[in-house]
Amino acid sequence: MSEQDAERWEFTDRPAGSGVPAGPDGDAVAELRRRIAGGRGETWLRSSRGRELAVVSNGERAMVMLLDGPGDPGGHAVDPGEDGWSEGFLLAGGQEDAYPDADTVPLGRALELVRCLLETGAPPPDAPWSVDR
């Protein structure tokens, strides 16, 4: 695939071409880490192909969702076998959610998944993933 055909990602809350680029070079992951450490729980990225990647974190765990576009239920990373719920997932509008731990992954793993999604366009083959369609 040529560089021209490569899927490009950008943060949806920044004008195109400004700020930290969202790409496989690690800048997007570093930016996500800064946002989460700063208390920002929800971040969305959009690709040049119209796909969307969402990361919602409480600082310890994160929900990582990949959608084919607006309105698509997409899929999300899962942590099979985990019990319980985690709270404190702060959404952009101020709502605070709780999610089953089985539907979220530890933050470090979430950032690894994001890096792979930006590099390859898909989760790693060994990553448990729920298709929500």
Tell whether the model's pLDDT for residue 35 goes beyond 70. Answer: yes
Across residues 64-80, what is the average pLDDT?
94
Structural domain count, the chain: 1
Residue 36 in domain: yes
Contacts of 113 (CB under 8 A, 6+ apart): 64, 77, 105, 123, 124, 127
Encode pLDDT of 80-122 as tens digits: 999 999 999 999 999 999 999 999 999 999 999 999 999 899 9
Is 26 part of a structural domain of the chain? yes
Question: Is the residue at 94 inside a domain?
Answer: yes
Q: Is residue 2 part of a domain?
A: no
Mean pLDDT lowest among 14-18, 62-66, 74-78? 14-18
Q: How many residues does the chain have?
A: 133
Structure tokens at 130: 């729920």
Q: Is residue 1 part of a domain?
A: no
Range of the domain at 52: 9-131
- Average pLDDT in the chain: 88
